[in-house]
Structure 1
Amino acid sequence: MDAMPKTHAKLGKQLISLDARPDRLDLRDLPYRCLIENLPAEHPPAAMIDGKLPGYLKSHLMLDQGREGACTGFGLAAAINFQLWARAGFADQHSDRVSPHMLYRLARFYDEWPGDDYEGSSCRGALKGWQKHGACTEGLWPVNGPEDEKWRSDAVTRPVGIYYRIDKNSIVDMQSALHNMHAIYVSANVHTGWTKVDTKGAPTHAGLPLIEHQPKSIGGHAFAIVGYNKRGFIVQNSWGTDWGASGFAILTYQDWIENGSDAWVMGLGVPIARDDARSPAFRVRSKRPAGSAPGTSWGPVNDPLDARQNTWPQEEAYRHTIVTGNDGVLQNRLPQAANPADNARLVCHAWPKQALAGSATRDLVLFLHGGLGSEASSIERIRIMGPWLSACNTYPLFVSWKSGWKEILQDIVADKAHQLFGATPAQGIGDHLIEKWDRAVEKLTRELLVRSMWNEMKENIAEGMRKESDAGLSALALSLQQLSGDIKDLRIHLIGHSAGSIIGGHLLSRFTELGVKAASCTLYAPACDIAFANTHYRKAVEANTLARDRFTIHTLSDRLELDDTTGPYRKSLLYLVSRALERLHKTPLLGMQLAHDPECSTGKYWHEDTLDELKKWQEFYQRDSLDLLSKRQVSNGIKLIDSSHGCFDNAVDIIAGTVAAITGTAKDKLPPGRLDY
């Protein structure tokens, strides 16, 4: 969806942003069904308005959004404040005012319109944020965001219980919801009549001024409705007490029918009283429909790691992880972050600085996953690996990115191969038959445009090094540069697995530009080609960004590469990349044993056009330097698993060897690891 154009209403000398977006269609919304009851002719009762409303106004519960395009947050905050006031017995003094800025930030966070250069959001987005995180007081989340973590324990004291979508064309349903819950949350297209409301009226049923209907809409606006009478709905606006009668006015029923967009009714939930209750400071994913009550915990339901010890909660994993899309663009996974760039600042600079400044740890480990799986699977790995790396006296950071290769290779290519060629040949039927099958799969892979997708993935990683703020790897590099300046004896260590080596190479080149040193770099089965390695890794060593004796490469033996499988392909992923996905058939890859063997530097093994780059690399990185995995099985800390392209970040002995070299601690002195994800 394109960015919504900004529109404004002129109220006196002030321009007010009008940019509430209509909710997108979502069939999972729970519909409101009104009770069978006799509705009073007006609500609230006149006696309550006369006796209680002065106290409401004295409590400063009327909001003023000013020029901010944040009406979804202010409108929901007004509705929540009104319901909290009602639950407190319409007390004369009530100062429990929730933060509209938190609710607006969460609305944008959960709406997920592309980009960040826009204002506004939808009602559903704001309600999702309240459902998943609660609502803290205004002082804990001011306009520029929270200054600390106190908002999290405060927000869970004001949860939503349940919320329903009201049929916006049913006046009776809206009146019923108001009669039962006192306030509802709505959005509508507004017109110039909203800017010309009489300010001489009184906040009573008879004295409230009318919003005079005008035919032309000037923008979208979200607000609270807190009552009704025979003339229309009672609007509580967020344009200050100088608008209407102390901030209230009447919106006629006809005007609402013509211009109303969305209407929601909410019920307050029971505050969580646990001492450790905190709102999750990360993105909560849930299959519950919009409107359902939150679970008993403020985290994801059915967490597979709940019963396991020595793992991070998802919240902690996201505090150590930056997430990029497959286009290299940063994603925001922290509700307190203003945007993706702020997310990177917190994860890669502010929080590491805070942690490292108060400890003796100076080794920051940046782990670059291979990118084959989903974000969820990556975070699950981080939840297991992260606390172990931390226990080894390092500060771990991770890059989580999704290329989609696991799904492509295991689903698209495999399905087509089986459709065309039948069942996959079994191991042991003869090398010539397996070779014939694999060549057919290689050809099919190229025909299915998987090669172009592989090259696009590499281009997207390179795009992540753009200097723009939304480029994930560039933001990471800049944050680490700043952190290196703040923590003078900081040592940054890169670990890359599979296609993570492509990220690592680009980062080292950026480090060279920024004057940042890498204390070490370790690659497991790197999937980058030799020409790329010469351009980025060799040049990083030559530029003294990385010391040669601190650069280590782990590979499978060629025998294990040939015994590995990738979906329907009866060899390893690196063989498939080399023979089918790279531009030149038989491109040497950095993670292949034979690419480091001078005796195999011929056209028999590799494409002729790659041999010059291969010779340069072999002169730089002799094969004796290679860490070769030739054992058939490795331990993940619980059991033995087959040695394969994907085993390296499960292999406790290999990872422990890397960490021991980083920290200078003997491998047998490290805490026992368990990497069974």
Structure 2
Amino acid sequence: MKKLNIFWLFFLSVNIFAQENTTNLDFRNLQSPVKDQGFRGTCTAFAIAAAIEILPNSYPDVSEKYIYASMKTVDFMYKDFFPGAHLKEYVATLPKYGILPESLMPYNPTFQYKMNKDDIKLRKVILEADVGPVDLLVNYVPKVKKTIPSYAVQSYPLDSIRNPKFVIALLKKYKSVAVSYHLYMGGWKKNDVSTSKPVGINNCGYQIKNLSNGRLFPATAGTRLYGKDFFKKIFQENSDFYFVRTDPVDEHYGGHAVNIVGVDGDNFIIKNSWGKDWGTDGYVYLSFDYHKIFVTDLLTISEVRER
């Protein structure tokens, strides 16, 4: 899981749309089985794999380890090291490196490592990817027989993906979209969320402060106190409102990638990668309000072809 700086949200001018959805969609029956990433920061690879596995000509079980290691190899060659990944980074790596079946490069959810901040970049990459760049390029890339065309993987602007109607249109077309959120771990606890108890702004890990009067209030009270345009106001530049963390522990905040696979009322149906005993058989509802505030990235994949 990659930590994300929530403060970038405060300076964006975005469009927060009213809830006018009347569409119910449920594509859970088309999805591959729910998996478990373990205690590793590989959620983006699992979201990518889940979106690929439902496509014609794909492997039914795609190697998350290969997807993630390919991206980390690019990091090693061209970027500074950082833990985790952003979905948009796969726009470049999927067409270049393709995909492998799980059988050729199985993922180990129990793999553990200790990384020190002073470790050299190569060691950090090997530890996080569970394979080294040379090993990947020599022993695994030559085995690739399927790839994702560059035109078939697409990331979208933030102001577009904040609109539930825009996301619903993508979902109708692709049946699964990979999406990432800023999250507070306390709001995603195993026994606190399900398809009957959505992830929402009632336990999002933030209060909102009004700078003009110093008042702190929960996010759920925003529209009641300041009107239906409250969420437009809070994201405007030089806004009087900003988010204040309710938990002092930095490690309790971060980012997580999942898949949107349906819509029910004013909630998205989410497929997670934390095993079937989380949520309802690995799925959960997530409110439109939460999505509009905390979504950070969205990726669609439309085709798998032979290399």
Q: TM-score, normalised by structure 2?
A: 0.61
**For residue 137 of structure 1, what is the aligned residue in structure 2?**
101
CA contact (8 A) 2:22 2:265 kept: no
Question: Following the alignment from structure 1 to structure 2, what is the Cα–Cα distance between the partners of residues 77 and 164?
Answer: 15
CA contact (8 A) 2:177 2:259 kept: yes
**For residue 190 of structure 1, what is the aligned residue in structure 2?**
183
Opposite residue 66 of structure 1, the aligned amino acid is G
Question: Following the alignment from structure 1 to structure 2, what is the Cα–Cα distance between the partners of residues 177 and 154?
Answer: 32
Q: Structure 2: which 5+ runs fail to align?
A: 6-20, 108-129, 207-252
Question: Following the alignment from structure 1 to structure 2, what is the Cα–Cα distance between the partners of residues 171 and 126?
Answer: 23
**For residue 74 of structure 2, what is the aligned residue in structure 1?**
110
Opposite residue 44 of structure 1, the aligned amino acid is D
Tell me the alpha carbon deviations over residues 596-642 of structure 1, each in whole angstroms, 9 at most, x when there is no partner. Answer: xxxxxxxxxxxxxxxxxxxxxxxxxxxxxxxxxxxxxxxxxxxxxxx
CA contact (8 A) 2:26 2:269 kept: no
User: Are 2:85 and 1:121 equivalent residues in the alignment?
Assistant: yes
Opposite residue 187 of structure 2, the aligned amino acid is G
**For residue 345 of structure 1, what is the aligned residue in structure 2?**
none
Q: Structure 1 pair 155/235, CA: closer, same or farther in 2 (3 Å)?
A: farther
CA contact (8 A) 2:47 2:257 kept: yes
User: Are 2:263 and 1:263 equivalent residues in the alignment?
Assistant: no
**For residue 248 of structure 2, what is the aligned residue in structure 1?**
none
Deviation (angstroms), 1:107: 2.4
Opposite residue 177 of structure 1, the aligned amino acid is L
Deviation (angstroms), 1:106: 2.3
Tell me the alpha carbon deviations over residues 368-408 of structure 1, each in whole angstroms, 9 at most, x when there is no partner. Answer: xxxxxxxxxxxxxxxxxxxxxxxxxxxxxxxxxxxxxxxxx
Q: Structure 1 pair 62/135, CA: closer, same or farther in 2 (3 Å)?
A: same
Deviation (angstroms), 1:98: 0.8
CA contact (8 A) 1:211 1:249 kept: yes
**For residue 19 of structure 1, what is the aligned residue in structure 2?**
2
CA contact (8 A) 2:69 2:136 kept: no
1:44 to 12, 23, 26: 26
SS of the equivalent of 1:268 reads coil
Alignment of 1:371-382 (within 5 A): none
Q: TM-score, normalised by structure 1?
A: 0.29
**For residue 159 of structure 1, what is the aligned residue in structure 2?**
148
Q: Structure 1 pair 148/125, CA: closer, same or farther in 2 (3 Å)?
A: closer
SS of the equivalent of 2:74 reads helix
Rg comparison, structure with higher value: 1
Question: Following the alignment from structure 2 to structure 1, what is the Cα–Cα distance between the partners of residues 266 and 278?
Answer: 19
Alignment of 1:509-520 (within 5 A): none
Question: Following the alignment from structure 1 to structure 2, what is the Cα–Cα distance between the partners of residues 242 and 225?
Answer: 18
Q: Structure 1 pair 131/148, CA: closer, same or farther in 2 (3 Å)?
A: closer
Deviation (angstroms), 1:113: 3.8
**For residue 72 of structure 1, what is the aligned residue in structure 2?**
44
Question: Following the alignment from structure 1 to structure 2, what is the Cα–Cα distance between the partners of residues 127 and 100?
Answer: 16
Q: Structure 1 pair 141/20, CA: closer, same or farther in 2 (3 Å)?
A: farther
SS of the equivalent of 2:187 reads helix
Q: Structure 1 pair 260/41, CA: closer, same or farther in 2 (3 Å)?
A: same
Deviation (angstroms), 1:262: 0.8
Deviation (angstroms), 1:142: 3.1
Alignment of 1:2-401 (within 5 A): 18-19=1-2, 41-44=23-26, 49=28, 52=29, 61-81=33-53, 83-84=54-55, 87=56, 96-111=60-75, 112-115=78-81, 118-143=82-107, 144-145=130-131, 151-152=140-141, 154-160=143-149, 161-166=151-156, 167-191=160-184, 192-198=186-192, 207-213=195-201, 214-216=203-205, 218-272=253-307
Question: Following the alignment from structure 1 to structure 2, what is the Cα–Cα distance between the partners of residues 108 and 148?
Answer: 12
SS of the equivalent of 1:129 reads helix
Question: Following the alignment from structure 1 to structure 2, what is the Cα–Cα distance between the partners of residues 158 and 98?
Answer: 12
Deviation (angstroms), 1:126: 2.5
Backbone CA RMSD of aligned residues? 3.0
SS of the equivalent of 1:243 reads coil
Opposite residue 210 of structure 1, the aligned amino acid is P
Q: Structure 1 pair 188/250, CA: closer, same or farther in 2 (3 Å)?
A: same
Question: Following the alignment from structure 2 to structure 1, what is the Cα–Cα distance between the partners of residues 153 and 136?
Answer: 30
How many residues are matched? Answer: 214
Question: Following the alignment from structure 1 to structure 2, what is the Cα–Cα distance between the partners of residues 132 and 20?
Answer: 27
Q: Structure 1 pair 44/75, CA: closer, same or farther in 2 (3 Å)?
A: same
CA contact (8 A) 2:147 2:305 kept: yes
Question: Following the alignment from structure 1 to structure 2, what is the Cα–Cα distance between the partners of residues 187 and 103?
Answer: 17
Opposite residue 43 of structure 1, the aligned amino acid is L
Question: Following the alignment from structure 2 to structure 1, what is the Cα–Cα distance between the partners of residues 3 and 49?
Answer: 15
Deviation (angstroms), 1:110: 3.3
Tell me the alpha carbon deviations over residues 137-176 of structure 1, each in whole angstroms, 9 at most, x when there is no partner. Answer: 1222234336896743553324245122232222111110
Question: Following the alignment from structure 1 to structure 2, what is the Cα–Cα distance between the partners of residues 196 and 152?
Answer: 37
Bigger proportion of residues as strand: 2
SS of the equivalent of 2:72 reads helix
SS of the equivalent of 2:26 reads coil
**For residue 647 of structure 1, what is the aligned residue in structure 2?**
none
Alignment of 1:252-651 (within 5 A): 252-272=287-307
Question: Following the alignment from structure 2 to structure 1, what is the Cα–Cα distance between the partners of residues 95 and 40?
Answer: 23
The sequence identity of aligned pairs, in percent, is 23
CA contact (8 A) 1:110 1:126 kept: no
CA contact (8 A) 1:107 1:122 kept: no
SS of the equivalent of 2:299 reads strand
Question: Following the alignment from structure 2 to structure 1, what is the Cα–Cα distance between the partners of residues 287 and 36?
Answer: 23
SS of the equivalent of 1:223 reads strand
SS of the equivalent of 1:69 reads coil
Deviation (angstroms), 1:79: 1.7
